[in-house]
Amino acid sequence: MSNPALLLSDAEKRRAHQHSRGIFFIHGAGFASWVPHIPLVQEQLSLNHERLGIALLAAAIGVIAAMPFAGRFADMFGSRQVVKIAGLFFFPTLALPIFMPSFWALALSLLFMGFAAAMMDIAMNANGVSLERARERSILSGLHGFWSLGGFTGAGFATLWFALPLAKTIHLPFSVTILLVAHWYLQAGLIEDQAKSATRQPSSTTKEPGKNAKTNKETDKSIFWVLLPFGICAFIGQFGEGVVTDWVTVLMIDTLGSTAAIAAAGFALYSAAMALTRLSGDWLVMRFGRPAILLTSCVLATSGYLIIALSPHFVLSWVGCFIAGMGLAVILPLLISAAANSTGRSGGTVVAIIAATGYTALMAGPPFIGAIAERYGLVNAFLMTASFLTLIIPVYLTSMRQRLKTVRNS
């Protein structure tokens, strides 16, 4: 099974790189366009923190439901095809929650959103891994940087819309229309990567199916243990990212009495920090190495959370959002790239395994924190998340130190 991307000319690879950046950008812009509406949906349906958290759990269930299919489909049919189809479902689901008349209708719409978002996310990351191998240099952090840049743009546009005398219910339908048009253009320029052929040449392994099955089982077991610490760190990092994404605007409004526009600006600063750090992430990894970047990211993320939780003024909360964005920015792309290099497996397989832990935390973290906030307060919930982020350090020290040092930085 060969990778067609390796046969492309340099000009074709550069063009595919630009389109891949665009796909990451619009996915981030779409997600960030929905986030500022969370407090508004909470108010519209009169939900307390716990009920809102349960509704957000539906999105996590959608993500989990997509996991068994996303990586497999990307490897079977090619990641570009999965990105194409998933995007046509993902972007329209962004506008559904704000029109839902009840708690259960909201939960169902978020279920669909989580499923479609995960399918597209895993497929576009798998496509990025294949492009990274074709270009023979690190690009995944930069692609995630464009996701965050899209998040900053989406959040910034929402902030501007909310500050103007425009109907808030029109914002998402308007944004979704633009994103769908952009998606249809951009997906056509992605590389065609590994797609399993319907016919295969006989090999020595096919002559001994029993032996081949045993070998595959042993290989899968070995891969699991290699990827386990990467998955744990991805879970911790994505837990922190999910909490700040869904709850920082609520925290600023409830605790500091901020307006929706000021709270949206805080999330926009968080997204800007994510974008700037990820855009320089490939250079940072090459310059300082993966271990130093992972540990520094952990310290920055924890510090940002502490500032957000203990801030007496929204300006200081903005600072905390920016620092938290810097810390959480490169954890996931660093882990995906390192995991792919350490196994040599196809992009869809590796991304799906890491995503099974990381993206589950991204979606499951907010409802869990919602339950904690309902009982102990949102500030204490953020302090608990800060403590949880520090666990990346012992995981690294006990099981990842040697692996990160031996995996290439490029």
Summarised one tens digit per residue, pLDDT across range 106-162 is 999 999 999 999 899 999 988 888 888 888 777 888 898 898 788 888 988 998 998
What's the confidence (pLDDT) of residue 295? 93
> What span, in angstroms and rounded, lies between the C-alpha atoms of 70 and 76?
10
Q: DSSP string covering 306-339, please?
A: HHHHH-SSHHHHHHHHHHHHHHHTTHHHHHHHHH
Which tokens hold the place of 326? Answer: 């810097």
* Tokens 């920082």, located at residue: 248
- Each residue of 77-119: pLDDT tens digit? 888 999 999 999 999 999 999 899 999 999 999 999 999 998 9
What's the confidence (pLDDT) of residue 163? 87
DSSP state of 37: G
Distance between alpha carbon 260 and the CA centroid of its chain, in Å?
A: 24
**Mean pLDDT of the chain, nearest integer:** 84
* Tokens 């690190």, located at residue: 138
Residues with pLDDT less than 50, the chain: 1, 195-207, 218, 410
**Do the Cβ atoms of 378 and 49 come closer than 8 Å?**
yes
Output the CA–CA distances (angstroms, integers) from residue 129 to 186, 209, 284, 285, in the order listed. Answer: 17, 30, 19, 16
What's the confidence (pLDDT) of residue 159? 85
Q: At what angle do helices 168-187 and 10-34 cross, to 10 degrees?
A: 160
Output the CA–CA distances (angstroms, integers) from residue 295 to 142, 383, 394, in the order listed. Answer: 19, 19, 10
Rg (CA), the chain: 21
Residue type, 86: A
Which tokens hold the place of 330? Answer: 């490169």
Cβ-Cβ contacts under 8 Å for 74 (sequence gap 6 or more): 82, 122, 123, 126, 127, 347, 348, 351, 352
Residue type, 295: L
Q: Which of 107, 142, 79, 143 lies closest to 363 in space, CA to CA?
A: 107
**Do the Cβ atoms of 32 and 136 come closer than 8 Å?**
no
Which tokens hold the place of 8? Answer: 């492309």
For the purposes of burial, counting CB atoms within 10 Å of the CB of 320, is it exposed (0-12), middle (13-18) or buried (19 or more)? buried
